[in-house]
Amino acid sequence: MLACESLHHEYLSGGKQLTVLKDITFQLEAGGFLAIIGPSGSGKTTLLGLLAGLDRPTAGRVVLDGVDLGPLDEDARARFRRQRVGFVFQSFQLIPTLTARENVQVPLELAGSNDAGPRADELLHRVGLSERSHHYPSQLSGGEQQRVAVARAFSTRPRILFADEPTGNLDAANGAIVIETMTALNVEYGTTLVLVTHEPDLAALARRTIRLADGAVVSDTGR
């Protein structure tokens, strides 16, 4: 489902080269659940971005759902994401000027779906927010916003879902609800999950755990 080969990534900052990822290679089967953990600054977010095709690696290859992301241009990757990839971010990243329902509709609308409305309602119901569908993000609590984000991530029934510290900004109770929803949908749709987290409890839920330190894989368990 997801494979990467000798990924290297460097940032140029202040004229100096900063190597953030070194020689990362692993594979993940379809329907799997991977947790990426490691100390702050170890390169987790960077790795997630590369795996999802949001950025290009300095060297190395990413194959996602059988497609090599390397040769695809920016728009081709966008179309690919639209069809097969979902995202949940630490800071929710809802479009502030759209209501909850409209936010969930966006990926469907972009893909030209004609049942975006009913599908959004259904998903909002799944995350327990039917009552709030016409509220703007600023009118929702952090936990509620993240549940909307989860609903949005699953709206196109993606083959794979990337989540970067989805509970990082939430309290334990809200975090639990979000994780439950995510895992339930993972099972229901057979979606592959890639999760970056700091929290050991959360990592423990995953079937596989990769630990990064200083941009390199230091352990890979549950393979």
Partner 1 sequence: MTSAGFVRRLAWRQAHAARRRLMLLTASVVAGVGALVAVNSFTRNLTVAVAEQAKDLLGADLSLGSRSPTDDIKPARRLLDSLRRVGGGAVHVASSASFAAMAYHPSSGGARLVQVRTVDPGWPYYGTMTTSPARIWSGLQAGGVIVDPSLLTAIGAKVGDTLGLGEGRFRILGTVINVPGDVGLQMAFGARVFISTTSLPGTKLLAFGSRAQYETFIQLPPTIDAQAVARANGGVLRAERISVHTIADDRDNLTRGLIRLGNYLGLVALAALLLGGLGVASAVHVFIRQQLDSIAVLRCLGATSGQIFAANLLQALAMGLLGSVLGALLGVGLQQLMPHVVHDFLPLNVRVLPSPHAILVGIGSGLWTATVFALLPLLGVRTAPPLATLRRATDPVRARWDRLRVAAVLVLIASVVGLATLQVGSLVHGVAFAVGSGSALFVLWLTSLALIRSARRWTPESWPYLLRQGLANLHRPANQTITVVLALGFGAFILTTLFTAQQNLLRTIRVEDVAARPNLVLFDIQTEQQPVIDSVLTAEHLQRAEYTAIVPMRIRELKGQALADLLAKDTVGHRRGERGGAGGPPSWTLRREFRSTYRGDKGPGERVTVGHWFGSGAHGSGKSASDPVEISVEADLAKDLGVGIGDPITWDVQGVPVYSRITSLREVNWARFEPNFFVVFAPGALDHAPQSWVTMVRAPDAMVRGRVQREVAEHAANVTAIDLGEIQHAIESVVDRIVMAIRFMALFSLITGTIVLIGAIATSRWQRIREGTLLRTLGATRGQVLTILCTEYAALGLAASIVASILAGGAGWALARWIFNVHFVLPLASMATLAVGLVALTTTVGLWNSLEVLNKPPLEVLRAE
Ligand X SMILES: Nc1ncnc2c1ncn2[C@@H]1O[C@H](COP(=O)(O)OP(=O)(O)OP(=O)(O)O)[C@@H](O)[C@H]1O
* Of 33-41, 70-78, 123-131, 177-185: span binding partner 1 (CB under 8 A): 70-78
Beta strands in the chain (DSSP E): 2-13, 16-28, 33-37, 59-64, 67-68, 85-88, 160-164, 192-196, 208-213, 216-221
Answer positive or negative: Cα dihedral of 9, 201, 147, 3: positive
Nearest by Cα to 164 from 180, 182, 177: 182
The reply on whether position 43 binds ligand X by CB under 6 A is yes
Q: How far apart are CA 194 and CA 35, in angstroms?
A: 6
Q: Which stretch binds partner 1 (CB under 8 A): 45-53, 174-182, 186-194, 208-216?
A: 45-53
Nearer to ligand X, 40 or 114 (CB): 40
- Per-residue binding string, partner 1, 168-207, x by CB under 8 A, is ----------------------------------------
Q: What angle do CA 47, 48, 52 make, to 5 degrees?
A: 120
- Decide if residue 134 touches partner 1 (CB under 8 A): no
Least distance to partner 1, CB of residue 188, Å: 21
- From the list 64-72, 110-118, 120-128, 212-220, the region that binds partner 1 by CB under 8 A is 110-118
Residues ≥6 apart with Cβ < 8 Å to 187: none
| One-letter amino acid of 142 | G
Count of residues engaged in binding ligand X, rule: CB under 6 A: 12
d(C-alpha 220, C-alpha 35), whole Å: 10
Give the interface with partner 1 as residue ranges (CB under 8 A). 45, 48-49, 54-55, 74-75, 78-83, 85, 87, 89, 91, 93, 95-98, 106-107, 109-112, 116, 136-138, 152, 156, 164
